[in-house]
Structure 1
Amino acid sequence: MKIAIVGFGNVGRAVAEVMLERRELFQKVDFEPKVVAVFERDGSWIDENGLKLQELLSKGTSSPSWVEGAAMAEERLADLDCDLIVEMTVTNIEDGEPGLTHIVEALNSGKDVVTSNKGPLVLAFPELMEIAEKKNRMLLYEATVGGAIPVFHVAREALLVNRIISITGILNGTSNYILTKMTDEKVSFNAALREAQEKGYAEADPTYDIEGIDAASKLVILANGILKTSKSIKDVRIEGITRITPEMTELAMEDGYLVKHIGYVDRNRIEVIPRLIPRSSPLAVGGTLNVISLKTDVAQDITLIGRGAGPRETSSAILGDILHINKIRKEN
């Protein structure tokens, strides 16, 4: 399988590293990846015979295959000789670019796509799936929600005989860390946020996390990908965590509850709001963990807990999608 990588930041590098580490496993499952192109904003590495990933990781732009200022991905994807595009550029939920253009170009030119980029899916999920179906291509997006948590795989494969009724979860590790800190140590919201930023869990501008926009974006993807709705972020009732105080978390604890930032969607309601969760609930996870619970008609409740972020964790989801596409294409 010939692969092109678009975006070679921390996650892209982690994908390359794990590819190198798992070569023996790939042989056992009849997967022969050949990365023929890697695109960055200021240049690219391209070799139709296959790039040397170890050289890219160690030498970067000093590698002989690096071309400064080369044509960007959107200009090359259509005619590039490859089977699959891995789109890992930075999420932009304002207009979805440049990821949206990358995905459209790849699908229209007959290439399968795996992405970790929430923006295009939040803004154009139905349209992208329509293009994929029309072109008989696959667009997989496990890494867009929950980091390493394989929620779409579980829904698609393991729960195939079930009707999934609703989805509930903690979808943002930053807000969960802040609320956990406030609960455990009775510190203020601002103090907990500062520590989250110092530890690298929160950005310098944490607005998307603490106001619930990131969690709402992920909830839209869950709704459309699993419940088969056509939701947009405008449909989500969103309330952040900035008004939560240590007094609120302490009172909740006294009554046997935790204050958590919970996403919920069924076919009638979609929201991300602070809620009281029983301390004994499977949703009562702490720190930066994410949790996603699927309510079904046969299996009842299935709850998945895991790391919602991190380059290697996210690479697990990306490579899982790539291997799934490889398996389907081999069977066909």
Structure 2
Amino acid sequence: MKVAIIGFGSVGKGIASIIRDKGLGITVTAIADSKSAAIDNSGLDIQSVFIAKENSGLCGKIGLTPDDVISEADFDVLIEVTPTDAETGEPALGYIRKALSSGKHVITSNKGPVALKYPELKELADENGVELKFEATVCGAIPIILSLQNGLAGNDIKRIYGVFNGTCNYILTRMADEKLTYSQALLEARELGYAEADPTYDVMGIDAAIKLVILANTVLGYKKSLEDVEIAGINMITSESLQLAGEDDLTIRLIGEIDCEKELLRVMPRVLPKNHTLVVHGTLNAVTAETDLAGEVTLIGRGAGSVETASAIIADLLFIRKLNGRCA
């Protein structure tokens, strides 16, 4: 199987290193970053690309673009891992459309295109007989989409709720455990790389809301947008409120919820018992699906990180290879 990778930040590098180190029988024929691209249809020397990126900041030749990769490279699957734009989905949306229209499978970790245009992209994939996979868009390494679509097939899902954002969970954990202020915990999260320089999407609940939209539209068949989600973040939570909750053996977590009976989506801080299943610590995510047959099923794991996100991408890649024996 031949793949092309668009996006060579931490996630793209993680994917390339896994392919290089694990001997998966996958050939990388193209890699593109924001300023350059490398193409070799017989297979790139991944280590050489890493060295070039480290030395020059470029993965390949200046002037070659992701569009050139899609048009010129020989590949079966496009792995699209560029930064998310939740308002337009671009430029990733254009890359995904072009690849699907060219009869290429697509795997993405990019929440924007899936949240904004999933019905269109799914139709485009179906028309061209290819797969569109996006497990990495929700909860990192946790196979939440696969579990809901396949593992719980035949169940009526009544509710999906949980901790969808590791940055917020880390901040709340540190505020409760160490009595840090919100500002102190946020600064610590930034220094450790858990929070972006601009953490707005995370702390205001927008990131969790986008993930709810993706689950609602792809798993439940809704037609929701970010505007349909009731959102409140954690920026107004104080260490004092967490300490008061703790005196009653309670704590606070940012919980995203889909109420399937009412088709309601909301993200907001909730007071939970400390021994509640969803009270996970650090950057962990935890999601519970409430079903008619299986009861409550909870998945817990790492929701972010380059290797964790790459894990979900690789799982989708191997799924496509198994499903499509025609990919050499």
The alignment's TM-score, normalised by the length of structure 2, stands at 0.94
Residue 7 of structure 1 aligns with which residue?
7
Deviation at 1:80, TM superposition (A): 3.5
User: Would you say 1:263 and 2:233 are equivalent positions?
Assistant: no
Q: Is the 8 A contact 1:227 1:266 kept in 2?
A: no
- Choose the corresponding residue for 1:123, options 116, 123, 137: 116
- SS at the partner of 1:262? strand
Instruction: Tell me the CA shift for residue 66 of structure 1.
Output: 6.0
Aligned 8 A contact 1:3 1:84 in 2: yes
Query: How far does the alpha carbon of each residue in 1:175-234 deviate from its partner, in whole angstroms, 9 at most, with x for none?
Result: 111111111122211121111112221122111111111111111111112222111111
Query: What is the aligned counterpart of 1:287 among 262, 273, 282?
Result: 282
SS in 2 for 1:330: coil
One-letter amino acid of the counterpart of residue 109, structure 1: S
Helix, strand or coil at the partner of 1:104: helix
The 1-side partners of 2:46 and 2:59 are apart by 12
Structure 1 residue aligned with 2:88, among 81, 86, 95? 95
| Residues 111 and 137 in structure 1, CA contact (< 8 A), matched pair in contact too | yes
Deviations 1:256-283 (A, max 9, x none): 3211100001332100100111212110
Per-residue Cα deviation, 1:237-274 (whole angstroms, up to 9, x for no partner): 01011111122112222223211100001332100100
1:88 and 1:225 map into 2 onto residues whose CA distance is 19
Q: 1:153 aligned to 132, 146, 157, which one?
A: 146
Map 1:59-98; keep pairs closer than 5 Å: 59-60=52-53, 67-98=60-91
Answering whether residue 270 of structure 2 is matched by residue 275 of structure 1, we say yes
**What is the CA distance between 1:70 and its match in structure 2?**
2.8
Structural RMSD (CA): 1.9
| CA deviation after TM superposition for structure 1 residue 84, in Å | 0.7
Summarize the Cα distance change of 1:260–1:298 in structure 2 as closer, same or farther, 3 Å threshold. Answer: same
Please say which of residues 73-82 and 3-12 is displaced more in the overlay. 73-82
Q: Distance in 2 between matches of 1:162 and 1:212?
A: 29
For residues 170 and 67 of structure 2, what CA distance do their matches in structure 1 show? 37
Q: Percent identity?
A: 46
Give me the whole-angstrom Cα distance separating, in 2, the residues matched to 1:226 and 1:314.
20
Matched, 1:193 2:189: no
Tell me which stretches of 4 or more aligned residues in structure 1 moved more than 6 Å.
Answer: none
Q: Counterpart amino acid of 1:43?
A: S
1:85 maps to amino acid = L
Unaligned runs of 5+ in 2: none
The answer as to whether partners of 1:166 and 1:265 remain within 8 angstroms in 2 is yes
Amino acid at match of 2:133: L
Q: Which amino acid aligns with 1:324?
A: F
Mapping for residues 17-36 of structure 1, pairs under 5 Å: 17-23=17-23, 26=24, 32-36=25-29
Match of 2:130 in 1: 137
1:180 aligned partner: 173
Aligned-pair CA distance for 1:57: 2.1
Is 1:46–1:66's contact at 8 Å kept on the other side of the alignment?
no
Is 139-148 or 192-201 further displaced after alignment? 192-201
Give the TM-score taking structure 1 as reference length: 0.93
| Amino acid of the structure 1 residue aligned with 2:318 | L
Counterpart of 2:305 (choices 307, 310, 321) is 310
Matched residue SS, 2:325: helix
- Does the 8 A contact of 1:79 with 1:109 survive in 2? no
Q: Residue 214 of structure 1 is aligned with which of 187, 202, 207?
A: 207
Structure 1 position 33, deviation (Å): 1.4
CA distance in 2 between partners of 1:79 and 1:39 (Å): 12
For 1:254, give the aligned amino acid. Answer: E
Paired residue type of 1:14 = G
Q: Structure 2: how far apart are the matches of 1:266 and 1:127?
A: 25
Gaps of 5+ in 1: 27-31
Whole-Å separation in 2 of the counterparts to 1:62 and 1:245? 44
Instruction: Give the structure 2 partner of residue 50 of structure 1.
Output: 43
Q: How far has the Cα of 1:331 moved from its partner?
A: 8.1
Partner AA of 2:274 in structure 1: R
- Give the drift of 1:12: 0.8
Distance 1:331 1:298, change over 3 A: farther
Query: Does the alignment pair 1:227 with 2:241?
Result: no
Aligned residues: 324
Which residue of structure 2 aligns with residue 299 of structure 1? 294
